[in-house]
Amino acid sequence: MKTHNILYFVSIIIVLTCSSFIETTDVDTRKKFVVVLDAGHGGKDPGNLGNGYKEKDIALKIVLAVGKELEKNPNIKVIYTRKKDEFIDLFVRGKIANKAKADLFVSVHCDSHNSQAYGAGTFVLGTHRNKTNFEVAKKENSVIFLEEDYEKNYAGFDPNSPESVMSILLTQEEYLDQSIKLAGLIQNNFANKLKRKDRKVKQAGFIVLHQTVMPSVLVELGFLTNRKEGAYLNSKNGQREMSMAIKDAILEYKSGLDKNVTNYNVVESISTNAVEIDDIIYKVQISASSKSIETKSYNFKGLDDISKIQEGSLYKYYYGNTSNYDTANGFVQEAKTKGYKSCFIVAFKDGKKIPLSEALKSTSN
Ligand SMILES: [Zn+2]
């Protein structure tokens, strides 16, 4: 009887302890701002080896330094996709972030080139608009060939095929504004505080960003292949400076959210020259007329977002306005169902019409 009582008592204690434990962790994770830090490459994949430096090691050192600083803030929880030199599949990195319901995903890499190119850039997911961006993504994506079952895990994705990369669904679109905001803050710190060459905020088709469902950026710290920059990134001082710049940007981003949760207009606060997102715009031409018609939806079978551009004696009417070719294709389908059977996509660069083939060539070749 006595033992029975003790057991009963002990089990009550256990239940109470467990439930209070569950409650506190629940409250903790709900309140904390979760940042997932992703050191590129690792294990059998060294990343680029410019000038003999190892991308995987530099990325890890920077990530650990960023994390160590962020962890000083009691309101931030840091999760690492790797804390040591090990190989992690790209899709697993995204899974880690999604499972943690992270508020931010920051992937850190170093670039390489066969020239003495240098400078720091930050990428958000998107349809790359030029060969350089495509090449950067291709290099970072090619790691999936080292993974087992990559055909299965990436549904036939081929990093070497621009079309394949173009076809990535923009699961990140919802988070694009915030991703650009963070990327802009990071670039501002690199360029203004550290006087690094600013390679700006760009879009490209990185698989690792495609896998995540939260604002996500990929930082290319600089070029290991550049003699001076490689030495800087490999140095203690360089790593300290670059990691502080990233850490500060994450804190600035977070305090922006804290201060102005409801009215958080992210894109406006970045200087426009830091963003090369909107250089090519696609619209769908639905009609042309010598008459100037008001761009009201009732004049265009219910389609809104109509723009009118005069060309010579003709007014051309366009539906939609997007920097994403896939989205433009969606607009075409929509316009066709409304009866604009012969509508087609037109590309604009810096406000000027350019041949579609040229716009696509700059993204795919
Ligand atoms: Zn890399």
Ligand 1 centroid distance, CA of 166 (Å) = 20
What's the alpha-carbon Rg for the chain, to the nearest Å? 24
Supply 272's token pair. Answer: 């426009």
State mean pLDDT over 130-143. 79
pLDDT score of 217: 95
Each residue's pLDDT tens digit, 306-319: 998 887 777 888 99
Give the start-end residues of each E strand in the chain. Answer: 33-39, 76-80, 104-111, 120-125, 198-204, 216-223, 280-289, 306-311, 314-322, 344-349, 352-354
Q: Please state, in angstroms and rounded to a whole number, the distance separating the CA atoms of residues 323 and 203.
A: 11
Report CA(121)–ligand 1 centroid distance (Å). 12
- Whether 7 shows a pLDDT value over 80: the answer reads no
Strands 314-322 and 280-289: antiparallel
What's the predicted TM-score (pTM) here?
0.64
**Mean pLDDT score of the chain, rounded to an integer?**
82
pLDDT for 171-192, tens place per residue?
A: 566 788 889 899 999 999 999 9
- First vs last C-alpha separation in the chain: 82
Using 50, 70 and 90 to split pLDDT, how confident is the model at 113? very high
What is the CA(167)–ligand 1 centre distance, in A?
Answer: 22
List alpha helices for 195-263, DSSP H: 207-210, 227-234, 236-259
pLDDT digits (tens, 9 = 90+) for 224-247: 999 999 999 999 999 999 999 999
339 CA from centroid of ligand 1 (Å):
47
Percent share of the chain, pLDDT over 90: 42
What pLDDT is recorded for position 4? 57
Report how far ligand 1's centroid is from the alpha carbon of 184 (Å): 20
| HEC secondary structure over 302-331 | CCCCEEEEEECCEEEEEEEEECCHHHHHHH
